[in-house]
Structure 1
């Protein structure tokens, strides 16, 4: 598939995006190895971005433990990993600089959050937070339906039979939303760091990558979800390593997908 850039500052037709159809399991292993190498070479950047994410997670966990708004806090905790791709944008820039042998400077890495000066990444950020808000509304509605008549709005409700059914149903709905979200962002965010394209072009390329390499990319999604879940168990501290490595690895997977 060739996608012609129509949103950049360059004349239309000067940039073509070709999505590979030949991703395999060996590519995932190679991407993870390259991600680990990037993290070891410049751990200060990974620790910085992951530290922000961990701090937010700890604050959310504290709120969940001390406040009574379970109907909002539980969905927020469940949807928290949806925000990880935007936190990884700075990590993509670190990997890009290392790949192109450019010097790593804090100013350059942090400026990657603005994209290539055209606010396309910020537009994607808005989409991410809107999707997160959409999930909160859906999850709150599910909670309200199952919780009605129980007379309780506490964590204890989650351990009842009705609460467990609600968690199973909500998890299934959340998984479908997360899959759609993943399909939109897996290629688009690193592409916006790498290329002068508009966010719609990047989203189309991401969906094309999913369509042409669905099995392998679904495997990558499962690996990310499992790794993030395990990393969050020890007070979120595992994310200080897992999140940067996965972020760097996603960049290298993108480079194998998009020529």
Structure 2
């Protein structure tokens, strides 16, 4: 029956399983095993993410917008699930005992542009754009013309003025809502779309149902991933070399534990 999960097979109805906190840690353990088994590939995809972050950082300084570093650093992990497509395929191939080669994995990544996963890219980037837009809007509302041209000046205004503290408080709430929304629609849908030929709306609804029916385990997983990703940004994004691949592999294993298909 499991072989029906391979792409091109008929699509049975997804069934949401009850998860425990133990499933979260088991998924991370399985993700770590996949990373150590295919560490070169994991580091490759992690490097793409890290280099992308450094490029964005350089552009912010080039265009003299260092005050956007903090919101971009917070929002940057939101695009992680899309970057992790190759990692999902590595875990899928390992799970089914298929060969894990550079040619096979990269071919699968490029093949996604012809499948439903490409629509998910628009969803992810749209929510990321909303995050950046609302940060700029809140800055204009609370800080007005007091937005400094340096990171140090921005930190001083944000942390030492009533308007800055209000901006941080409301921005944190709005950002938390957007991050929770994006996590809910992508955490299961992304690995599902890599594994099965299913439309992206069905995948997103299945993902949201999984989070709603398993709020504590799923949010625990999300908090761990988000916390690790933020910490990984500190040493010039270098921590993402390990955090992204482990989180990507763990996400696929959590999906396998969370969703079963009625054959």
TM-score over 0.5 for the pair: yes
Shift of 1:73: 4.7
Match for residue 90 of structure 2 among 88, 94, 103: 94
Shift of 1:133: 1.2
Quote the RMSD (CA, aligned, Å): 2.1
**Residue 199 (structure 1) aligned with residue 235 (structure 2):** no
Residue 121 of structure 1 is matched in structure 2 by: 117
Give the secondary-structure state (helix, strand or coil) at the position aligned to 2:146: coil
| Structure number with higher helix proportion | 2
Shift of 1:76: 2.6
User: What do the CA deviations read for 1:1-36 (whole angstroms, capped 9, x no partner)?
Assistant: xxxxxxx9877xx5211111x200111111111101
Q: Which runs of no fewer than 5 residues in structure 2 stay unpaired?
A: 1-6
**Contact kept in structure 2, 1:114 and 1:120, CA below 8 Å:** no
Residue 186 of structure 1 is matched in structure 2 by: 187
**Contact kept in structure 2, 1:75 and 1:140, CA below 8 Å:** no
Shift of 1:37: 0.5
Taking the aligned partners of 1:151 and 1:24, their CA distance within structure 2 comes to 45
Residue 224 of structure 1 is matched in structure 2 by: 225
**Residue 15 (structure 1) aligned with residue 12 (structure 2):** yes
Q: Which shifted more, 108-117 or 218-227?
A: 108-117
1:51–1:116 distance in 2 versus 1, CA, 3 Å: closer
Taking the aligned partners of 1:201 and 1:26, their CA distance within structure 2 comes to 27
Give TM-score, length-normalised by structure 2.
0.87
Higher relative contact order (CA 8 A, sep 6+): 2
Residue 46 of structure 1 is matched in structure 2 by: 42
Taking the aligned partners of 1:74 and 1:241, their CA distance within structure 2 comes to 22
User: What do the CA deviations read for 1:57-92 (whole angstroms, capped 9, x no partner)?
Assistant: 122233344542246554333211111010111100
1:153–1:164 distance in 2 versus 1, CA, 3 Å: farther
Taking the aligned partners of 2:180 and 2:199, their CA distance within structure 1 comes to 22
User: What do the CA deviations read for 1:205-242 (whole angstroms, capped 9, x no partner)?
Assistant: 00110111011111111111111111111221111111
Match for residue 80 of structure 2 among 81, 84, 104: 84
**Contact kept in structure 1, 2:90 and 2:105, CA below 8 Å:** yes
Taking the aligned partners of 2:33 and 2:44, their CA distance within structure 1 comes to 17
1:232–1:244 distance in 2 versus 1, CA, 3 Å: same
Give TM-score, length-normalised by structure 1.
0.89
Residue 69 of structure 1 is matched in structure 2 by: 65
Taking the aligned partners of 2:144 and 2:105, their CA distance within structure 1 comes to 48
Q: Which runs of no fewer than 5 residues in structure 1 stay unpaired?
A: 1-7
Number of matched residues? Answer: 249
1:51–1:208 distance in 2 versus 1, CA, 3 Å: same
User: What do the CA deviations read for 1:30-58 (whole angstroms, capped 9, x no partner)?
Assistant: 11111010001111111111101101112
